[in-house]
């Protein structure tokens, strides 16, 4: 009965997410409206998709013709010439105004970013700590995650011997699955030290992936498809792996168990091993970023199919619209799967790296690492 | 490609928010969850273990009770056998005793009867003698009222004695 309920819940979430996407398709129709007003028939699909994938200084919620409903976010800047600045992003008037010598570049190297013009008209990038759309989404998602986990923890702490039902039961099931299937077999004997961190990583990625799939405020931000976000996650794993590494792990790096000529006159193997330390988290960073960004790009591209085919006549346009909706629903299902799989893979590989750094390089750990990296 | 260059601003916010999430969840979020799950698992394991032990104990108790029962049954059989043997013995003894006693009593009664008979005979005899003497006296007195009769009598008696002597 309990599992049935969880299944139903999952299905409802899936349908909800995909139906929201259809709703979002309509909102995207409205979004390029101002551009259309200027250039009537041209729709720059590439720019639209890249614009949605990238970060922005304001959170666009809804547009109705010329009217935009956006949430202005704080801009925090430090310029070498004029010091700290703190103001609302509404001062830029959607990128059309210059405020205090700052403006949002519309082309060039810093396209879409705040730049400062120096005396000769060159664009200079100030230190930009603005709370952008992704940063705001990150904070919202973090609060949601903390609230969920602390609520579950409170329920479970109140009566540890009760078997939980409903949402707590679902969360417990997922937590135990990650703990028992991923962390325990890969990290090894002192897995309990690492499981809170690895579980945090899993749920952080998972919830950001899921909320990123919801196409309107407060979702829709391409958080885990942003390289800065995945970079911090990868660095966290890097720190955990290397700062808790065992002696055997470091010996394996600087004095590996290979013929001496591979390490004495020229330290070939140590160099490869040291590079390996950095390529592991780098692969984590790129994998998560590319998967999530690609998912968002596909959904956006399918949605754009509706507008590209406008010029081809109503028959083709309507059939392509139907096709676009069908494909979007399908891709959203796939993306739900990807949201879970990527969080799972990131956690699994982090656990494997931790296990490799903790263990005395036992054979089965190596096997796990090799099979999961592929 | 601006997508591939990490923004310092977002790096900053991500570090802060992820750091806070990690600190809170690693300290207050997951450990209680994992601990309570562990507690529950331990509880279940212990319960299973104690249930198994109780079952074993129960079967052991059953075994011993059965053993005790079997023993008791054996004992009972022995006791019953003994009792029946005893009762038979007692009955036999009683029977023998009764026979002996009755024989004794019969002999006693017989001797008593014989003695009584003897005594009765004796007394009867003496009585008869007395009576016969008295009768004889009376008869004699009647019969011997005349001389003739007396003489005749004496003669007859003498005859008889003579006859019996010869």
Residues in chain B closer than 8 A to A169 (CB atoms): none
CB contact under 8 A, A142 and B29: no
User: Is A119 in the same domain as A234?
Assistant: no
Residues in chain B closer than 8 A to A163 (CB atoms): 40
Structural domains in chain B (count): 1
Q: Report CA torsion sign: A54, A58, A61, A65.
A: negative
| A218 cis-preceded (ω within 30 degrees of 0) | yes
pLDDT on residue A310: 84
| Cβ–Cβ under 8 Å, residues A291 and A309 | no
Residue A138 counted as domain residue: yes
Residues in chain B closer than 8 A to A127 (CB atoms): 8
Residue A174 counted as domain residue: yes
CB contact under 8 A, B22 and A111: no
**For residue A193, how many other CB atoms are within 10 A of its CB?**
13
CB contact under 8 A, B9 and A160: no
Q: Pick the residue from chain A with its C-alpha nearest to B33.
A: A153
| Cβ–Cβ under 8 Å, residues A163 and B44 | no
User: Is A305 in the same domain as A318?
Assistant: yes
Alpha carbon distance A348, A95 (integer Å): 42
Gyration radius of chain A over CA positions: 24
| Alpha carbon of A129: minimum distance to chain B alpha carbons (Å) | 4
Residue A338 counted as domain residue: yes
pLDDT on residue A327: 92
User: Mapping DSSP to helix (H, G, I), strand (E, B) and coil, where does residue A86 land?
Assistant: strand
Residue-wise pLDDT tens digits, B128-157:
888 888 888 887 777 677 778 778 878 888
- Provide the number of CB pairs (under 8 Å) joining chain A to chain B: 133
CB contact under 8 A, A138 and B6: no
Residue B111 counted as domain residue: yes
With 70 as the cut, is the pLDDT of residue B18 above it? yes
Give residue A117's domain range. Answer: 74-128
Length of chain B counted residue by residue: 166
Q: Which two tokens stand for residue A373?
A: 């990296």
Alpha carbon distance A348, A352 (integer Å): 6
Residue B82 counted as domain residue: yes
User: Is A163 in the same domain as A271?
Assistant: yes
Residues in chain B closer than 8 A to A199 (CB atoms): 25, 30
Q: Pick the residue from chain A with its C-alpha nearest to B18.
A: A142
Residue B3 counted as domain residue: no
pLDDT on residue A198: 93
Q: Which single residue is written with the structure tokens 């899921």?
A: A210
**For residue A152, how many other CB atoms are within 10 A of its CB?**
22
Predicted ipTM of the assembly? 0.79
User: Is A307 in the same domain as A286?
Assistant: yes
User: Is A216 in the same domain as A336?
Assistant: yes
User: Is A255 in the same domain as A118?
Assistant: no
**For residue A10, how many other CB atoms are within 10 A of its CB?**
12
pLDDT on residue A267: 83
Q: By percentage, how much of chain B surpasses pLDDT 90?
A: 42
Residue B5 counted as domain residue: no
Residue A48 counted as domain residue: no
pLDDT on residue A36: 41
| Cβ–Cβ under 8 Å, residues A272 and A319 | no
Going residue by residue through chain A (374 aa), what tens digit of pLDDT does each one get? 455 555 555 555 554 444 444 444 444 444 444 444 444 446 677 878 888 888 888 888 877 777 778 888 888 888 887 888 888 888 887 777 788 778 887 777 777 788 887 777 777 888 888 888 889 999 999 999 999 999 999 988 888 787 788 888 899 899 999 999 999 999 888 888 899 999 999 999 999 999 998 887 777 788 898 899 999 999 999 999 998 888 888 888 888 887 888 777 888 888 888 898 999 999 999 999 999 999 999 988 888 888 888 888 888 889 989 999 999 999 999 999 999 999 999 999 999 999 888 865 555 555 555 565 54
| Alpha carbon of A173: minimum distance to chain B alpha carbons (Å) | 11
Alpha carbon distance A103, A115 (integer Å): 6
Give residue B151's domain range. Answer: 10-165
B31: CB partners within 8 A, 6+ apart: A196
Residues in chain A closer than 8 A to B10 (CB atoms): 55, 132, 134-135, 226, 228-229
| Alpha carbon of B53: minimum distance to chain A alpha carbons (Å) | 21
User: Is A209 in the same domain as A291?
Assistant: yes
Angle between helices A314-358 and A268-308 (to 10 degrees): 160
Residue-wise pLDDT tens digits, B54-77:
999 999 999 999 999 999 999 999
User: Is A186 in the same domain as A307?
Assistant: yes
- Contacting A with CB below 8 Å, chain B residues are 2-15, 17-18, 20-22, 24-26, 28-37, 39-40, 43
User: Is A154 in the same domain as A84?
Assistant: no
CB contact under 8 A, A196 and B24: no
Select from B4, B31, B37 the Cβ nearest to the Cβ of A176.
Answer: B37
User: Is A157 in the same domain as A251?
Assistant: yes
pLDDT on residue A5: 55
Asked which of A91, A113, A128 is the last residue of a domain, the reply is A128
What is the arithmetic mean of pLDDT over B5-29?
A: 91
| Alpha carbon of A11: minimum distance to chain B alpha carbons (Å) | 26
User: Is A114 in the same domain as A202?
Assistant: no
Asked which of A92, A109, A128 is the last residue of a domain, the reply is A128
Residues in chain B closer than 8 A to A135 (CB atoms): 9-10, 13-14, 17
Q: Which two tokens stand for residue A231?
A: 């970079």
Residue A158 counted as domain residue: yes
Give the dihedral of Cα atoms B156, B160, B162, B165; nearest 10 deg: -170
pLDDT on residue B58: 94
User: Is A80 in the same domain as A155?
Assistant: no
Structural domains in chain A (count): 2
Residues in chain B closer than 8 A to A226 (CB atoms): 6-7, 10
């Amino acid at each position: 009965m309990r599992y049935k309920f969880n299944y139903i819940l999952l299905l409802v979430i899936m349908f909800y997410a995909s139906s929201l996407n259809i709703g979002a398709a309509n909102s995207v129709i409205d979004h390029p409206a101002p551009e259309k007003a200027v250039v009537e028939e041209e729709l720059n699909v590439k720019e639209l998709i890249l614009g949605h994938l990238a970060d922005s200084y304001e959170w666009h919620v809804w547009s109705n013709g010329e009217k935009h409903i956006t949430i202005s976010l704080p801009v925090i800047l430090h310029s070498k010439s004029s010091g700290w600045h703190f103001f609302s992003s509404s001062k830029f008037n959607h990128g059309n105004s210059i405020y205090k010598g700052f403006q949002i570049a519309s082309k060039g190297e810093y396209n879409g970013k705040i730049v400062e013009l120096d005396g000769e008209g060159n664009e200079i990038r100030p230190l930009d700590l603005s709370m952008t759309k992704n940063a705001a989404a990150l904070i919202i998602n973090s609060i949601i995650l903390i609230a969920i986990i602390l609520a579950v923890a409170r329920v479970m702490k109140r009566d540890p011997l009760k078997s939980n039902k409903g949402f707590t039961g679902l969360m417990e099931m997922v937590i135990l699955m990650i703990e028992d299937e991923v962390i325990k077999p890969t990290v090894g004997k002192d897995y309990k030290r690492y499981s809170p961190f690895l579980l945090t990583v899993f749920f952080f990625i998972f919830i950001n992936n899921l909320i990123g799939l919801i196409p309107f405020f407060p979702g829709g931000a391409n958080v885990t498809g942003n390289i800065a976000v995945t970079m911090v996650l990868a660095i966290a794993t890097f720190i955990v792996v290397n700062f808790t590494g065992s002696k055997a792990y470091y010996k394996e790096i600087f004095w590996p168990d290979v013929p001496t000529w591979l390490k004495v006159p020229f330290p070939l193997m140590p160099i490869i091993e040291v590079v390996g330390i950095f390529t592991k988290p780098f692969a984590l960073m790129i994998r998560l970023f590319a998967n999530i960004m690609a998912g968002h790009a596909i959904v956006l591209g399918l949605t754009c199919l509706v507008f590209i085919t406008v010029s081809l006549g109503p028959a083709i346009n309507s059939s392509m619209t139907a096709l676009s909706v069908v494909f979007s629903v399908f891709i959203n299902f796939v993306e739900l799967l990807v949201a879970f799989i990527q969080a799972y893979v990131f956690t699994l590989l982090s656990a494997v790296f931790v296990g490799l750094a903790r263990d005395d390089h036992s054979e089965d750990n190596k096997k796990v690492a090799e099979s999961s990296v592929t | 490609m601006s997508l591939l260059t990490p923004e310092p601003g977002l790096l900053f916010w991500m570090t802060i928010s992820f750091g806070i999430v990690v600190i809170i969840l690693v300290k207050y979020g997951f450990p209680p969850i994992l601990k309570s799950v562990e507690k529950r698992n331990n509880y279940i394991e212990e319960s299973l273990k104690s249930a198994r032990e109780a079952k074993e104990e129960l079967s052991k108790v059953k075994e011993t009770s059965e053993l005790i029962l079997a023993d008791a049954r054996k004992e009972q059989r022995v006791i019953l056998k003994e009792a029946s043997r005893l009762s038979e013995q007692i009955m036999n003894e009683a029977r023998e005793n009764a026979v002996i006693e009755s024989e004794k009593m019969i002999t006693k009664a017989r001797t008593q009867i014989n003695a009584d008979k003897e005594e009765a005979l004796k007394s009867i005899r003496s009585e008869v003698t007395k009576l016969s003497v008295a009768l004889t006296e009376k008869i004699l007195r009647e019969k011997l009222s005349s001389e003739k009769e007396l003489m005749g009598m004496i003669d007859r008696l003498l005859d008889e004695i003579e006859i019996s002597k010869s």
